[in-house]
Structure 1
């Protein structure tokens, strides 16, 4: 759970910092980016439901691990963009940005064989060498992500707001 919270905090920090440069990126969109950071870990549903159960329900072969790839998060962002009333393209982009932050951070963690997962699928099956910067269960990762989010939150609260002409 600490890793999931870390991804949400990282997405918050990145989206909030980006909101300082893009006027349209309000707190609503920051929250949507945070939801996007959760998308790759939807494959955790596999802890409760087997692939065989999903295959019989959907009628097609299905593997939940495909969700934790570029192709999987693009499809989930498309579905997420379709369920909103307006701003479909913006919703897609913000959801995808949050999900990409998740995939990029996961590309830096330690893997037993020294290569990250094939998260670039369907573009390639290549598994790039990982710098092995952290172990996902390390509480220091959550502490660093929490500190970064706190610093961004404090900066966001104290920064001067742009004046609007009325």
Structure 2
């Protein structure tokens, strides 16, 4: 779970900095970007059911939810919950969360040295992993908690 915490707090930091610099990006969108950082982790459903699931008799894989294609589907489904004038900012916020999440996941240590095919359906290519940390490591969360605390404190002043 430290991996999920790192993703969410990273988006808090980046979106709060965006609020300070971008006029049209206001504080309401901070939570949206944090939600976007959680979208690729919908694949964690495999912890409950195993690597596959069945819906209406159709078999699917949880791993497919960790791709750009499924993230785009989630974003376009989620954006329909908002008013039309806010949709561009919502799409931007959710997309920023997803892209940041996937970038951080590229840094995870993998046994074969390559990340999953995150870019599907654009390509099946598996990018090299950064091999910087394990997804179960606590130190990335401790670092981002410290940075988040500083940003939160400065933001409240």
Name the counterpart of 1:53.
54
Q: C-alpha separation between the residues in 1 aligned to 2:116 and 2:153?
A: 35
Name the counterpart of 1:163.
none
Larger Rg: 1
Which structure: greater strand fraction?
2
| SS of structure 2 residue aligned to 1:62 | strand
Q: C-alpha separation between the residues in 1 aligned to 2:3 and 2:105?
A: 10
Gaps of 5+ in 1: 159-166
Q: How many angstroms does 1:61 deviate by?
A: 4.3
Gaps of 5+ in 2: none
Contact 2:71-2:98 at 8 Å conserved across structures: yes
| SS of structure 2 residue aligned to 1:78 | helix
1:65-93 CA distance string (max 9 Å, x none): 11111111111111110122341222112
Q: Provide TM-score, normalisation by structure 2.
A: 0.90
Q: C-alpha separation between the residues in 1 aligned to 2:58 and 2:54?
A: 11
Q: C-alpha separation between the residues in 1 aligned to 2:129 and 2:35?
A: 26
Give aligned pairs, total: 155
Q: C-alpha separation between the residues in 1 aligned to 2:81 and 2:101?
A: 22
Name the counterpart of 2:24.
24
Name the counterpart of 1:75.
73
Q: Provide TM-score, normalisation by structure 1.
A: 0.86
1:97-120 CA distance string (max 9 Å, x none): 111110010011100011111111
Considering only aligned residues, what root-mean-square deviation do their CA atoms show, in Å? 1.6
Contact 2:67-2:119 at 8 Å conserved across structures: yes
Q: C-alpha separation between the residues in 2 aligned to 1:69 and 1:61?
A: 17
Name the counterpart of 1:131.
130
